[in-house]
């Protein structure tokens, strides 16, 4: 990989010229697997998993990136998973996770559940799955309690509590407060505990999550709220979860959060509760984007360069059907260029807007929240060059669609410089499979 120099004070600036990903040639990846293409760096995933080794349990919110090869890599790192649907339960099982907690937790800790089903409702399929497989449930609505008790009498459950406030990189990713549908409202806990007791279920876990991409200042507020609710629940608790939402640096100048200080804060909460309850508590964290965002790249080919008045556009073969975050949230993703001719001299940067092929005006990768088109400084590009959209490993492929009848892209995992196809590209036949005329 070659890079341009980072401006002073911006050591995290992504390269604008990129020729490799995790030791694999960008051009070779595109030539072998076509574009658009998702590529994941296995070593980056391992690194982010190990960043959180201080926690008793790291539970991956697999909705961020649910490819089976990624899940299997998580499992090899000792990471367990959260599932929000029957399909995600099936994915976890296919990746080698057991449905049941192994006996004994080690060091006096309670057993860890390999898979936890977290949702605000049971649809009929998910209730059948958790009952049949014995999967632990994190209840986000009180009505789930009686529904589970009918199928699994005497089960232990976790409560997902809405603390009354939330935060996130977008209002659409804020999962706390009155504007969020998620979790059991904190003032309803006494009534919910009575309902659980009447139903014969034990509340063994407590979970709070206020939003995806929140900063640590807001995430730290959860600790105090969780501690207060834990004292209401009492000694039946064996596990507390800090939820997820760990921030990831996307923009130049942004840095990684102080994870050591964050763990210390939560460990102190755990210890105070242990002193109060008289037994050990398992301390979980539930990251999604933190574990996979930086590992992911979208390789897409420049197919047209055009001017619309004073603004220059690069149009590529990936669209919001490939990566939806910019159109949904106005999200920023670093971008770099891989020239089709590696011998071509690097040229100065120019401001361009980057868009896709879809029949939608919102199909723009360089847009701000609200849908306003912006530009990005990139080297002069030509048709046939490859554009790499970076930090795309979370809420990327999992939110892709067949809009405009576009096939889903392939996915590749690169480990030690060796690229492995982990999902084949959809074909036109795949698009209409299951339909009739």
Say which range, 17-31, 174-188, 316-330, 333-347, has the weakest mean pLDDT.
Answer: 174-188
Inter-axis angle of helices 216-233 and 189-199, nearest 10: 50
Say which range, 113-122, 161-170, 365-374, has the weakest mean pLDDT.
Answer: 161-170
- The string of pLDDT tens digits covering residues 219-270 is 677 888 899 999 999 999 999 999 988 889 999 888 888 899 889 999 999 9
User: Does the pLDDT value for residue 176 go beyond 50?
Assistant: no
Query: Taking Cα atoms as reference points, which of 251, 156, 292 lies closest to residue 148?
Result: 156
Beta bridge partners of 351: 377
Q: What's the CA gap between 69 and 64, in Å, rounded?
A: 14
How far CA 100 is from CA of 80, 112, 390, in Å, comes to: 12, 9, 36
Q: What per-residue confidence (pLDDT) applies to 157?
A: 97
Q: What per-residue confidence (pLDDT) applies to 168?
A: 42
User: Does the pLDDT value for residue 105 go beyond 60?
Assistant: no
Q: What per-residue confidence (pLDDT) applies to 196?
A: 96
User: Does the pLDDT value for residue 187 go beyond 90?
Assistant: no
**107-132: average pLDDT:** 94
**Joined tokens for residue 257:** 């959060």
Q: What's the CA gap between 1 and 405, in Å, rounded?
A: 34
**What is the sign, positive or negative, of the torsion defined by CA atoms of 421, 92, 183, 214?**
negative
**151-158: average pLDDT:** 96
In the CATH scheme, what is the code of domain 53-286? 3.20.20.10
List all residues 6 or more positions away from 9 whose beta carbon is below 8 Å from its beta carbon: 253
Q: What per-residue confidence (pLDDT) applies to 413?
A: 98
Q: What per-residue confidence (pLDDT) applies to 11?
A: 39
- pLDDT above 70 covers a percentage of the chain that reads 89
**Joined tokens for residue 366:** 């360089």
Q: What per-residue confidence (pLDDT) applies to 164?
A: 72
User: Does the pLDDT value for residue 192 go beyond 90?
Assistant: yes
Q: Which of 49, 65, 338, 359 is catalytic?
A: 359
Q: What SS3 string covers 36-68? A: CEEEEEHHHHHHHHHHCCCCCEEEEEHHHCCCH
> Boundaries of CATH 2.40.37.10 in the chain?
20-39+293-432
User: Does the pLDDT value for residue 8 go beyond 60?
Assistant: no
Q: What is the mean pLDDT of the chain?
A: 90
> Boundaries of CATH 3.20.20.10 in the chain?
53-286
Q: What per-residue confidence (pLDDT) applies to 256?
A: 87
Where does the pLDDT of residue 135 fall: very low under 50, low under 70, confident under 90, or very high at 90 and above? very high
Superfamily of domain 20-39+293-432: Lyase, Ornithine Decarboxylase; Chain A, domain 1 (2.40.37.10)
Q: Catalytic: 359?
A: yes
- The string of pLDDT tens digits covering residues 286-340 is 999 999 999 999 999 999 999 999 999 999 999 999 999 999 999 999 999 999 9
Q: What's the CA gap between 416 and 418, in Å, rounded?
A: 5
pTM, full prediction: 0.92
User: Does the pLDDT value for residue 7 go beyond 70?
Assistant: no
Q: What per-residue confidence (pLDDT) applies to 182?
A: 73
Where does the pLDDT of residue 165 fall: very low under 50, low under 70, confident under 90, or very high at 90 and above? low
- The string of pLDDT tens digits covering residues 375-434 is 999 999 999 999 999 999 999 999 999 999 999 999 999 999 999 999 999 999 999 999
Say which range, 69-78, 100-109, 256-265, has the weakest mean pLDDT.
Answer: 100-109
Q: What per-residue confidence (pLDDT) applies to 180?
A: 67
Where does the pLDDT of residue 177 fall: very low under 50, low under 70, confident under 90, or very high at 90 and above? low
Q: What per-residue confidence (pLDDT) applies to 167?
A: 45
Q: What's the CA gap between 264 and 268, in Å, rounded?
A: 6
Where does the pLDDT of residue 178 fall: very low under 50, low under 70, confident under 90, or very high at 90 and above? low
Q: Is 42 left (phi over 0), alpha (psi -120 to 50) or beta?
A: alpha
Q: What per-residue confidence (pLDDT) applies to 174?
A: 40
């Amino acid at each position: 990989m070659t890079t341009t120099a980072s401006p002073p004070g911006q050591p995290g600036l992504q390269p604008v010229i990129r020729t490799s990903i995790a030791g694999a040639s960008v051009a070779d990846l595109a030539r072998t697997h076509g574009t658009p293409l998702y590529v994941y760096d296995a070593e980056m995933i391992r690194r982010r998993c190990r960043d959180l080794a201080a926690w008793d349990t790291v539970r991956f919110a697999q909705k961020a990136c649910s490819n089976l090869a990624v899940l299997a890599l998580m499992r090899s790192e000792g990471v367990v998973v959260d599932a929000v649907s029957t399909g995600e339960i099936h994915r976890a099982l296919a990746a080698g996770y057991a449905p049941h907690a192994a006996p004994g937790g080690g060091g006096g800790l309670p057993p860890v559940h390999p898979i936890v089903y977290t949702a605000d409702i049971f649809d009929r399929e998910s209730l059948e799955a958790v009952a049949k497989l014995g999967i632990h449930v994190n209840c986000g609505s009180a009505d789930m309690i009686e529904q589970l008790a009918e199928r699994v009498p005497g089960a232990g459950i976790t409560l997902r509590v809405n603390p009354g406030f939330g935060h996130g990189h977008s209002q659409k990713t804020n999962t706390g407060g009155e504007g969020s549908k998620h979790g059991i409202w904190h003032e309803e806990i006494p009534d919910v505990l009575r309902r659980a007791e009447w139903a014969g279920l034990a509340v063994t876990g407590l979970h709070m999550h206020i939003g995806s991409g929140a900063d640590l200042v807001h995430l730290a507020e959860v600790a105090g709220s969780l501690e207060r609710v834990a004292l209401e629940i009492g000694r039946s608790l064996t596990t507390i979860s800090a939820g997820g939402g760990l921030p990831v640096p996307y923009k130049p100048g942004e840095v990684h959060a102080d994870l050591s200080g964050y763990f210390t804060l939560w460990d102190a909460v755990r210890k105070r509760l242990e002193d109060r309850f008289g037994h050990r508590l398992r301390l979980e964290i539930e990251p999604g984007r933190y574990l996979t965002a930086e590992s992911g790249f979208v390789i897409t080919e420049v197919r047209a360069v055009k001017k619309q008045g004073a603004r220059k556009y690069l149009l590529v073969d990936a669209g919001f059907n490939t990566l939806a975050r910019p159109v949904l949230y106005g999200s920023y993703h670093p971008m770099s260029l891989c020239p089709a001719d590696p011998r071509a001299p690097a040229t100065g940067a120019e401001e361009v807007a980057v868009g896709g092929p879809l029949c939608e005006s919102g199909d723009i990768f360089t847009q701000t929240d609200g849908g306003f088109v912006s530009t990005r400084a990139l080297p002069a590009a030509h048709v046939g060059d490859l554009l790499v959209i970076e930090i795309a490993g979370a809420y990327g492929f999992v939110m892709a669609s067949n809009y405009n009848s576009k096939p889903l892209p392939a996915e590749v995992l690169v480990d030690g410089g060796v690229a492995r196809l982990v999902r084949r590209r959809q074909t036109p036949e795949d698009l209409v499979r299951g339909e009739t005329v």
